[in-house]
């Protein structure tokens, strides 16, 4: 119970930071990385937020993906306070977090087969479409590989493996 209560203290501000476009990209990326670490360390603490967090990461991936292959070759090391949301590390962090959430959902479903699905079928379908699009169009090769891996994890969760 204590873990879940402490999650209520730190998850909303981290999620707010991750979604705020006026915050430097490096801080948004760090907030998502901290959420990933929480999900990996204590997944049960995020169950209440699972659908909201997952949808938030898919929304971020849809909005923050470059519209063409001619993206700015900006580096967060060159401009650490850049607010450019098109930088690959932001998408990489969102993909990693989404994959952790999907993996943990799969494990929880596997451990408790009588439990209802934690993520809706409509969300999983939307996530697979978004991830498939990123896997074939993103200009960053690492993002494309991560999107393929997350899409496969989503497919496994849908099939109930």
For every residue of 11-64, which 3-state class applies, written as one string? HHHHHHHHHCCCCCHHHHHHHHHHHHHHHHHCHHHHHHHHHHHHHHHHHHHHHH
Parent domain of 115: 2-65+82-159
Give a yes or no: residue 155 inside a domain: yes
Place 71 in a pLDDT band, splitting at 50, 70 and 90. Answer: very low
Give a yes or no: residue 72 inside a domain: no
pLDDT of residue 136: 93
Q: What is the pLDDT of residues 12-48, one digit of tens each?
A: 899 899 988 889 989 999 999 999 998 888 888 888 8
Give a yes or no: residue 71 inside a domain: no
Residue 99 confidence (pLDDT) above 80: yes
No. of H helices and E strands in the chain?
6, 0
- C-alpha dist (Å) from residue 91 to 42, 81, 97, 113: 23, 17, 10, 32
Give a yes or no: residue 136 inside a domain: yes
Mean pLDDT of 62-83: 64
Cα(156)–Cα(133) distance, rounded to whole angstroms?
A: 18
Whether the model clears a pTM of 0.95, i.e. scores above it, the answer is no
Ranges 76-80, 110-114, 147-151: which has the least confidence: 76-80
Q: What is the pLDDT of residues 103-136, one digit of tens each?
A: 988 887 777 666 666 788 899 999 999 999 999 9
Q: Report the share of the chain in percent with pLDDT over 70.
A: 80
Give a yes or no: residue 74 inside a domain: no
Q: Which two tokens stand for residue 9?
A: 């203290």
Cα(92)–Cα(90) distance, rounded to whole angstroms?
A: 5
Per the structure, the count of domains in the chain is 1
Give a yes or no: residue 75 inside a domain: no
Give a yes or no: residue 70 inside a domain: no
pLDDT of residue 46: 82
Give a yes or no: residue 27 inside a domain: yes
């Amino acid at each position: 119970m204590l873990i879940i209560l402490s999650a209520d203290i730190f998850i909303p501000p981290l999620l707010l930071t991750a979604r705020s476009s006026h915050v430097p990209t490096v801080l948004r990326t760090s907030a998502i990385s901290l959420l990933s670490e929480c999900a990996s360390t204590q997944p049960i603490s995020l169950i209440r937020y699972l659908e909201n967090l997952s949808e938030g990461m898919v929304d971020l991936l849809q909005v923050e993906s470059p519209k063409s292959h001619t993206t700015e070759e900006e580096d967060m090391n060159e401009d650490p306070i850049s607010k450019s949301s098109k930088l690959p590390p932001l998408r990489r962090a969102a993909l990693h977090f989404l994959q952790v959430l999907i993996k943990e959902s799969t494990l929880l479903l596997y451990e408790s087969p009588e439990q209802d699905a934690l993520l809706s079928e409509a969300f999983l379908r939307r996530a697979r479409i978004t991830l498939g699009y990123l896997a074939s169009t993103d200009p960053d090769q690492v993002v494309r590989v991560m999107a393929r891996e997350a899409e496969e994890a989503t497919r496994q969760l849908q099939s109930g493996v």
